[in-house]
Amino acid sequence: MAKYIVLVFIIVGYSVNAQINKLDSLSDLLRKERSLVTKAEIHLNLATEYTKINFDSSSYHAQLAIDYALKEGLPKTIVKATIILSDISTYSGDFVVADSLHKNAYRISKQANWEKGLGKVFLSKGLLSEFKSGFGQALVFYDSANQLFNEIGFKEGVGDCYMNIAIVHYSTGDLKNALYNFDLASELYQEIGDSRSEAFVVNNSGNVYKLLGLLDRASENYYKALKYFEKDQNKSGIASALLNLGNIEIEFENYQKAKKLLLRAFYLNNEIGDDTKLISVSQNLGVVYSSE
């Protein structure tokens, strides 16, 4: 969970309609399923998907996943669901609860000798440290997770670590190290074919290049992000990439090109009902129209 939600600064969300369809499909499977083991996994999947749109529903399904997993002796499911609950507590500001849940997840992972679980706990603890403004401590946790994931060859986890390390450097203004770690994450996501995570990485890199005044490099990364978002049919991501590209064209004073990009972003945001982004797009369109 932490991987995607921690990236709020890139202003990329999810297609709500697609998310609802996926949730409906999982709920339909749950109604037909009798096996407690499978029920635990379905509730875990529902908890994961709901993190993107509704924390209360995510918590509900995570707790049910834990309940079923306890009955069937499924430590990995318990750890995964507990981490979801801890991340929700972190985002809700319940740091004491998050810390307590981390201890439970760590203990169960150790008992099960599950190194990947330990790495996931360290990632979640890093997120908690970020929210408490303990960026140095966050890097320690991310480095610990990275070491574990490297030892077991879990490339997706290593990529997640580099991405979160990059975000810490971005947050502290260390843009050089942010780019370096975004590039490391990008290489791994490309290697394993994770276009969804790659889209977030290149979009973030575009933001960094823009802050550095390297607008050509920023534009190049935003176009890459647009390609990945289009591949995944992520309308919110597409709209955000179009908005970023429109802003770049305004910087270049290419107002007609900016207008086309921003109008596409406007129609998409209107379609998915994202009022916050509509305001941003409208403000930038105002700059374009005033130049005509």
Residue 67 lies in a domain: yes
Per-residue pLDDT tens over the stretch 225-267: 999 999 888 888 899 999 999 999 999 999 999 999 999 999 9
Tell me whether residue 239 is in a domain: yes
At position 211, the amino acid (one-letter code) is L
The verdict on 108 and 44 lying in the same domain is yes
**Domain of residue 94, residue span:** 1-150
Task: Please name which of 144, 154, 222 lies closest in space to residue 188, comparing C-alpha atoms.
Answer: 154
Do residues 144 and 163 both lie within one domain? Answer: no
- Does 221 map to a domain? no
Question: Is 218 part of any domain?
Answer: no
Same-domain check for residues 109 and 49: yes
- Dump pLDDT digits (tens) for 76-95: 999 999 999 999 999 999 99
State the pLDDT confidence band at 26, using cuts at 50, 70 and 90: low
> Considering the domain boundaries, does residue 88 fall inside one?
yes
Last residue of a domain, one of 150, 166, 201: 150
CATH number where 194 lies: 1.25.40.10
Scored b (16 or more CB within 10 A) or e, 244-281 reads bbbbbbbeeeebebbbbbbebbbebbeebebeebbebb
Q: Do 289 and 191 belong together in one domain?
A: no
> pLDDT tens across 174-191, in order?
999 999 999 999 999 999
pTM for this model (two decimals) = 0.83
Same domain for 35 and 67: yes
The secondary structure of 161-178 as a DSSP string is: HHHHHHHHHHHTT-HHHH
In-domain check, residue 224 = no
Asked if residue 254 is part of any domain, the answer here is: yes
The last residue of a domain, from among 150, 168, 195: 150
User: How far is CA 266 from each of CA 35, 234, 278, 279, 291, rounded to the nearest angstrom?
Assistant: 46, 15, 6, 9, 19
Number of structural domains the chain divides into:
3
